[in-house]
Amino acid sequence: MNRNAPRAIDQYLHQLRQELKGADAALIQDALYDAEEYLRAEVGSHPDKSEADVLELIASTYGSPGEVADAYRETEIRVNAAMATPRKLPRTGSGAFLGVFLDPRAYTSLFFMLLALLTGILYFVFTVVGLAMSAGFSVLIIGVPFFLLFVAVGRAVSLAEGRLIEALTGVRMPRRPVYPPSSRSLWARVGDMLKDRRTWSAFAYFLLMLPLGMIYFVIALFGLTISVGLTILPFFGIAQRSGWFGGHLQVNPEWMGSLPMLPVEVLGGALLFTSLMHLARGIGRVHARFAKTLLVAREGAAAPEAAPLPVAA
């Protein structure tokens, strides 16, 4: 084996993390999870060999840390190209302003703003009720198990929220948890979970999603209502003057439904709606980066010491 080749799983993961330095934090988390899961499964399937012997044995199949890092980077480039906006959007002039309608991320980000109120309420209720029940059960024998279950579910929900954000905004989020279940003992996993700052920053994110969701929802709903209303209002006014609706619909003030105001209001509504699409796309990107700060491991953060798997002498 090469002198610099890793002779233990922890060494392999450390070298892989170093090889991926500078890559997206979500990509690093996924790569480390996949590598650790595969390596520990291989070590567990060869109980008669040491970690060093197994790593040497699978070096030609799984690859060195540098080869694995290169493979992940190449795969990420291909995936990003496949998920990219299908058309090249204009970047200057009026084309850049109107080109937002060709960007599917603008529509999905607007949908995210409308959805954020619902998810914000659910996350807030889950966090507050879970913490309150954990405090209430703390005097009972089920208090600790309930609290640990609540924390574990919260981490799973944070991973699901990341997947939702990636689907709607296109910003890369983790697709794997932090550590494979088989990588350490139950109590070690519990300790890692409680010491991991992402556990508590995720709950902070859940609490912040309620006010953020309210703001996003109001902006989206207000923008849609005003822009669509301005666009169709003059048509209702003209239809009313033509005897439609039997006088049951009144446009006030009347000048807003007049024919001379038709081009002004339609243009104003279109400009407002286009601006809303730009704002929604921007909010989606900013929120995704905010979520990544609270839900994803910092690049280069050291992993906890993992207990080695038992091997035969």
Instruction: Look at residue 290 and tell me if it is in a domain.
Output: no
Last residue of a domain, one of 67, 83, 99: 83
Instruction: Look at residue 130 and tell me if it is in a domain.
Output: yes
Q: What is the DSSP letter of 21?
A: T
How many structural domains does the chain have?
2
Last residue of a domain, one of 157, 181, 207: 207
Cis peptide before 253 (omega within 30 of 0): yes
Q: What is the pLDDT of residues 139-186, one digit of tens each?
A: 889 999 999 999 999 999 999 999 999 999 988 899 888 777 766 677
Q: What is the pLDDT of residues 88-144, one digit of tens each?
A: 666 666 667 788 888 899 999 999 999 999 999 999 999 999 999 999 998 889 999
Q: Are residues 123 and 197 in the same domain?
A: yes
Q: Are residues 124 and 71 in the same domain?
A: no
Tell me the residue range of the domain where 201 lies: 118-207
Say which residues have a Cβ less than 8 Å from residue 73's Cβ, sequence separation at least 6: 20, 23, 27
Instruction: Look at residue 99 and tell me if it is in a domain.
Output: no
Instruction: Look at residue 173 and tell me if it is in a domain.
Output: yes
Query: In the predicted model, is pLDDT for residue 313 greater than 70?
Result: no
Q: What is the pLDDT of residues 41-62, one digit of tens each?
A: 888 888 888 888 888 877 777 8
Nearest to 110 by CA among 209, 270, 220, 269: 220
Q: What is the pTM of this model?
A: 0.78
* 52-67 b/e (C-beta count within 10 Å ≥ 16 → b): eebbbeebeebebbee
Instruction: Look at residue 233 and tell me if it is in a domain.
Output: no
Average confidence score pLDDT of the chain:
82
Nearest to 116 by CA among 260, 223, 221, 253: 221
Burial class (CB in 10 A: 0-12, 13-18, 19+), 190: middle
Q: How far apart are the first and last CA of the chain?
A: 20
Instruction: Look at residue 288 and tell me if it is in a domain.
Output: no
The residue with tokens 């012997």 is 53
Instruction: Look at residue 123 and tell me if it is in a domain.
Output: yes
CA atoms within 13 A of residue 6's CA, in its CB half-sphere: 21
Query: Taken in order 121, 123, 125, 127, is the CA torsion positive or negative?
Result: negative
Instruction: Look at residue 242 and tell me if it is in a domain.
Output: no
Yes or no: say if 250 and 225 are a contact pair by the CB < 8 Å rule. no
